[in-house]
């Protein structure tokens, strides 16, 4: 058991996370029902209003709170109880983030922030919505500082010992988050807040979108890295194996840091104002992420196979059978991993300039990220929660809850196959994303989409039932399950693995290279945007 005070901090983060998941899922269910023409929204709730709540609460709040809570628990487990300053800073971060979340939710519910979770200009929300977002971001920075501080003190106290793998990965995840959120903080503070208050009457849209996507792509790696932490560090222990290589795992994380930030243009492929050569350059960097992704896939299968062989599995695929499929701590993340295969293939399509023309702004894209963040990441997080919540609350994961967890995972997989599958197909037929049924139902093509909308609604309903089951299980594990000691599964490194080169902990080097890549990929095109800014922008006055 980790220090009680740290367990409490972690549990508070997880609670807000699951609360957001629950509310966001209600919105998700309603969306699928509206899109299929099954219902119309009551009480003059707008479709965009609902979609804003869904995107913000799930993509931004559920994920960030879960990640911070998980990282704190693992840091306390691997580096020991949090020192005073890091713990206090963590609570301060929690308070700021929660305050921001409540404020943002209120303004969305008041229909004063119906700007979707990407808040593209010229959609404009109440200034309070942007102020709320700043609180979430700055609160999360406090958590980042607190984790780095813990790491720094630990390194000093241990005379620069090699950090535990989990903690190293946590520090890296928060480094990526911090560098990435600088962009979104800049656009909120320098553009959106002055503009929404009315201090300035114009906003440079291209710059705001560029700063947003500078953040928006690494955001997806911020979701993924904690899932990878579970795969690299937790899964080997659960399946009775060993971590394939500590050095390889760290190197993969370094590469994710380097190749996830200077690539935001692949979300702006169809935007004017950025030259093709810069788009091409960033797309090349985008595809570099294939390297650490394949490294991750390779080490995972190496772990599965060696663990399987130790248990006596034979033949090319004999190890598949001896994996603990009936253990939800393995099963849920494993389904997430499997779903990542088609999801990744879809991602390659999205990031390819020509193919992007076909799927841009269609429901295909929505189908894609329900496989990635809402399945690969979400299922891994659910799999973590099934042992982490009872671990932190001093209870146990009972066989009965384990079984319900397996059912929950299967429901999620089936529901998502329906919903996301239908979204992919109907997207190829040209069905737009972010559009309520009523706004396109008189479109001649829309008739072809009807069967797929129905499949989406069926999938969405199964997913919602799965969320109800999840909330029940988590609630039971937090408050009702029998008192007992749980294990925090932490893998050990294979004895034969090579030792870890210290250069992997050279933060100045990696952050330096990351900054250099960002400068190379963004300085000139950004300069051009200012230089050729629209009437009223600072650049227009200058040149
Ligand atoms: C009960 C489960 C869920 C259902 C039924 C559901 C359904 C939907 C639907 C129908 C849309 C598309 C709306 C449109 O483009 O018109 C959507 C959008 C979205 N969903 Fe979900 N979803 C679920 C869970 C999740 C989860 C767990 C996440 C993330 C962790 C997520 C993230 C998103 C995001 C980011 C959008 C895009 C919002 C936008 O375009 O502004 N969803 N969802
Ligand atoms: Cu991206």
Q: How is residue 262 written in tokens?
A: 């200077």
**Cβ-contact 45, 114 below 8 angstroms:** no
Query: Which of 78 and 45 is assigned the larger pLDDT?
Result: 78
User: Nearest C-alpha to atom 16 of ligand 1 is from which residue?
Assistant: 434
Q: Which residue has the tokens 């989990």?
A: 166
Query: What's the pTM value of the predicted model, to 2 decimals?
Result: 0.94
Which helix (DSSP H) or strand (DSSP E) does residue 137 occupy?
helix 127-157
The pLDDT assigned to 474 comes to 97
| Cβ proximity of 94 and 14 under 8 Å | no
370 included as an active-site residue: yes
Query: Residue 519: what pLDDT?
Result: 87
- Give the pLDDT of residue 539: 57
Q: What is the pLDDT of residues 459-508, one digit of tens each?
A: 999 999 999 999 999 999 999 999 998 999 999 887 777 788 888 888 99
For 129, the token pair is 């919505």
Under the banding of pLDDT at 50, 70 and 90, the label for residue 95 is very high
Q: Which residues lie closer than 8 Å to 109 by C-beta, 6 or more apart?
A: 49, 53
Contacts of 295 (CB under 8 A, 6+ apart): 248, 251, 252, 255
Write out the two tokens for 125: 């929300």
**What three-state secondary structure class fits 123?**
coil
231: Cβ–Cβ under 8 A, 6 or more apart, which residues?
Answer: 296, 300, 333, 337, 380
Q: Are 375 and 400 a contacting pair, CB within 8 Å?
A: no
Q: How far apart are the first and last CA of the chain?
A: 63
pLDDT of 543 above 50: no
Q: Contact 462/415 with Cβ under 8 angstroms? A: yes
- Quote the pLDDT of residue 22: 96
| Residue 330: predicted pLDDT | 95
Concerning whether 217 is annotated as a catalytic residue, the answer is yes
Q: What pLDDT is attached to residue 346? A: 92
pLDDT digits (tens, 9 = 90+) for 160-193: 888 999 999 999 999 999 999 999 999 999 999 9
* Most confident by average pLDDT, 23-37, 297-311, 325-339: 325-339
Ligand nearest to the CA of 224: 1
Distance, CA 58 to ligand 1 centroid (Å)? Answer: 8
- 3-class secondary structure per residue, 432-452: ECCCCHHHHCCCCCHHHHHHH
Q: Is the peptide bond before 430 cis (omega within 30 degrees of 0)?
A: no
Ligand 1 pocket mutation pick from 19, 26, 28, 119 by most atoms within 8 angstroms of CB: 28
Model confidence band, residue 452 (pLDDT cutoffs 50, 70, 90): confident
More confident: 42 or 327 = 327
SS3 state of residue 243: strand
Respond yes or no: is residue 54 known to be catalytic: no
Report the range of poorest mean pLDDT among 37-51, 118-132, 398-412, 459-473: 37-51
Compute and round to an integer the Cα radius of gyration of the chain: 23
* pLDDT value for 492: 86
Tokens of 217: 């792509």
- According to DSSP, residue 481 is labeled S
Q: How far is the C-alpha of 151 from the C-alpha of 163, rounded, in Å? A: 8
Q: Which CATH class is domain 4-531?
A: mainly alpha
Find the range with the poorest average confidence among 40-44, 127-131, 133-137: 40-44
pLDDT tens profile 354-368: 888 888 889 999 999
- Looking at 370, 395, 418, 424, which residue is catalytic? 370
Phi, psi of 270, deg, nearest 5? -95, 20
For residue 531, what pLDDT is reported? 77
Query: CA 477, CA 469: separation in Å to the nearest integer?
Result: 12
Phi/psi at 267 (5° precision): -95, -5
Which pair of tokens denotes residue 423?
A: 């979204």
Give the closest residue to 372 by CA, choosing from 394, 341, 415, 397. 341
- Residue 393 pLDDT > 60, yes or no? yes
Share of the chain above pLDDT 90, in %: 63
Average pLDDT, the chain: 91
| Helix (DSSP H) and strand (DSSP E) numbers for the chain | 22, 0
Confidence of residue 540 (pLDDT cuts 50, 70, 90): low
State mean pLDDT over 396-413: 96
In this structure, is the dihedral angle defined by the CA atoms of residues 27, 28, 31 and 33, taken in order, positive or negative?
A: negative
- In whole angstroms, give the CA distance from residue 6 to residue 152: 18
What is the tens place of the pLDDT at every residue in 413-448? 999 999 999 999 999 988 889 888 777 777 888 888
Q: Annotated catalytic residue: which of 217, 250, 329, 424?
A: 217
440 C-alpha to ligand 2 centroid (Å)? 28
Q: Which residues are near ligand 1 (CB < 6 Å)?
A: 25, 28-29, 31-32, 35, 51, 54-55, 58-59, 62-63, 116-117, 366, 369-370, 373-374, 378, 433-435, 460, 463-464, 467
């Amino acid at each position: 058991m980790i220090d009680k005070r740290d367990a409490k901090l972690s549990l508070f983060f997880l609670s807000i996370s699951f609360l957001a998941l629950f509310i966001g899922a209600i919105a998700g269910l309603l969306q699928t029902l509206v899109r299929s023409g099954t219902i119309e929204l009551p009480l003059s709730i707008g479709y965009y209003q609902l979609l804003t709540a869904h995107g913000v609460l799930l993509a931004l709040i559920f994920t960030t709170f879960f990640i911070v809570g998980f990282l704190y628990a693992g840091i306390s487990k691997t580096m020991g109880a949090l020192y005073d300053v890091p713990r206090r800073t963590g609570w301060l971060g929690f308070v700021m983030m929660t305050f921001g979340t409540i404020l943002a939710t209120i303004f969305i519910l008041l229909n004063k922030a119906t700007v979707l979770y990407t808040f593209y200009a010229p959609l404009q929300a109440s200034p309070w919505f942007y102020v709320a977002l700043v609180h979430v971001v700055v609160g999360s920075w406090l958590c980042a500082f607190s984790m780095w501080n813990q790491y720094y003190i630990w390194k000093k106290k241990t005379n620069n010992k090699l950090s535990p793998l989990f903690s190293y990965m946590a520090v890296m995840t928060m480094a990526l988050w911090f560098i990435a959120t600088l962009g979104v903080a800049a656009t909120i503070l320098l553009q959106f807040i002055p503009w929404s208050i009315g201090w300035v009457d114009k906003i440079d849209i291209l710059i705001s979108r560029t700063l947003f996507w500078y953040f928006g792509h690494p955001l997806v790696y911020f979701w993924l890295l904690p899932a990878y932490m579970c795969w690299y560090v937790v899964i080997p222990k659960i399946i009775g194996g060993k971590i394939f290589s500590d050095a390889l795992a760290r190197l993969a994380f370094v590469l994710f840091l380097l190749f996830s930030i200077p690539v935001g243009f692949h979300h702006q492929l169809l935007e004017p104002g950025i030259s093709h050569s810069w788009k091409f350059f960033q797309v090349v960097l985008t595809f570099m992420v294939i390297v650490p992704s394949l490294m991750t896939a390779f080490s995972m299968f190496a772990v599965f196979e060696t663990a399987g062989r130790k248990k006596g599995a034979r033949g090319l695929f004999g190890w598949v059978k001896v994996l603990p499929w009936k253990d939800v701590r393995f099963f849920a993340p494993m389904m997430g991993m499997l779903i990542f295969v088609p999801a990744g293939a879809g991602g390659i399509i999205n990031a390819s300039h020509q193919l992007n023309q076909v799927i841009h702004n269609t429901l295909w894209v929505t189908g894609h990220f329900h496989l990635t963040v809402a399945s690969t990441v979400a299922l891994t997080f659910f799999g973590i929660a099934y042992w982490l919540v009872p671990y932190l609350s001093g209870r146990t994961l009972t066989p009965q809850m384990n079984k319900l967890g397996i059912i929950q995972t299967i429901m999620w997989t089936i529901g998502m196959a329906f919903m996301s599958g239908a979204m992919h197909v109907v997207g190829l037929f040209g069905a737009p994303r972010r559009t309520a049924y009523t706004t396109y139902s008189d479109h001649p093509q829309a008739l072809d989409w009807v069967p797929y909308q129905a499949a989406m609604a069926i999938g969405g309903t199964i997913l919602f039932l799965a969320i109800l089951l999840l909330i029940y299980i988590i609630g039971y594990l937090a408050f009702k399950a029998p008192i007992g000691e749980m294990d925090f599964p932490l893998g050990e490194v294979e004895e034969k693995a090579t030792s870890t080169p210290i250069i992997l902990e050279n933060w100045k080097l990696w952050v330096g290279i990351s900054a250099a890549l960002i400068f190379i990929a963004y300085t000139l095109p950004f300069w051009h945007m200012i230089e050729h800014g629209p009437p009223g922008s600072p650049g227009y006055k200058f040149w």
